[in-house]
Amino acid sequence: MKDLIKNHFPNFSPQLMDELDKNASIQSFKAGDIVIRSGQYIKSTVLVVSGKLKVYRLDDDGGEFFMYYLQPGQACALSMICATKQETSEIMAKVVEDAELIMVPLQVMEKWMASHRSWYEFVIQTYRRRFEEVLTVIDNIAFKAMDERLEFYLKRHREACQCNDIKLSHQEIASELNTSREVISRLLKKMEQRHLLRLHRSHIELLPSFR
């Protein structure tokens, strides 16, 4: 496990890497697996070494509100908060691409905040990065029209996958933006007419003009 830690979390001190190797465990998950559920107590925080997870919230009607992706070298800030406060989770985390995760038990995570500077800095950076990202999402929801929100949403997915093929259905996008499939289909068609993207049966291809 040390090689995985060193490759994906190079800023961890050698002492912290040793502690992770002794106390944490690696678990494999398949696409579609739920790693964190709303309402459950979180006993471990999650470090991603491969694959990709989608973090989102569920409303009372079962609709999904997309928050952010977790990729290799990252951790779930919200799971850290819930774990340290011993509260139930208010988010869901689902595996989008087959993943390997390092599961860090709550009891050692709290101890490392005081004893390992590199862990403390990693946790603070994780909180700050996610807080800034959530603020950006809130700004887009509160102050932008649906067409602007859709463009922002597609840009986030492009950044997450480092690709121009967005493998999401119109219904999935609509659910995550809390609107109807018809609205999303109409806006995507307009973007296609503006030569920003190309619609395919199973994916959306973002063109070079989409910036």
pLDDT confidence band for 116 (50 / 70 / 90): very high
Q: What are phi and psi of 86, to 5 degrees?
A: 55, 45
Least confident stretch, 62-66, 104-108, 178-182: 62-66
Q: Could you count the other beta carbons within 10 Å of the beta carbon of residue 157?
A: 19
∠ CA 99-129-161, rounded to 5°: 40
What ranges make up the beta strands (E) of 169-208? 197-199, 204-206
Res. 14: pLDDT tops 90: yes
Query: What is the pTM (predicted TM-score) of this model?
Result: 0.75
Q: Are residues 166 and 122 in the same domain?
A: no
SS3 assignment, position 154: helix
Average of per-residue pLDDT values in the chain? 89
Q: Are residues 157 and 104 in the same domain?
A: no
If residue 48 lies in a helix (H) or strand (E), which one and from where to where?
strand 44-58
Q: Are residues 55 and 151 in the same domain?
A: no
Q: What is the domain count for the chain?
A: 2
DSSP state of 88: B
Q: Are residues 109 and 177 in the same domain?
A: no
DSSP state of 6: H
Domain harbouring 154, CATH code: 1.10.10.10
Q: Which pair of tokens denotes residue 161?
A: 């996958």
Q: Are residues 27 and 51 in the same domain?
A: yes
27-79 per-position pLDDT tens digit: 999 999 999 998 888 888 899 999 999 988 887 777 778 888 899 999 988 77
The mean pLDDT value for 179-188 works out to: 93
The mean pLDDT value for 128-134 works out to: 85
Q: Are residues 163 and 74 in the same domain?
A: no
Res. 187: pLDDT tops 70: yes
Q: How much is the pLDDT for 83? A: 67
Q: How much is the pLDDT for 164? A: 92
SS3 assignment, position 120: helix
Q: Specify burial of residue 85 (Cβ count, 10 A radius: 0-12, 13-18, 19+).
A: exposed
Q: Which pair of tokens denotes residue 154?
A: 């597609």
Q: How much is the pLDDT for 172? A: 87
Q: Is residue 211 part of a domain?
A: no
Q: How many residues does the chain have?
A: 211
Q: Are residues 32 and 101 in the same domain?
A: yes
- What domain range includes position 49? 2-141
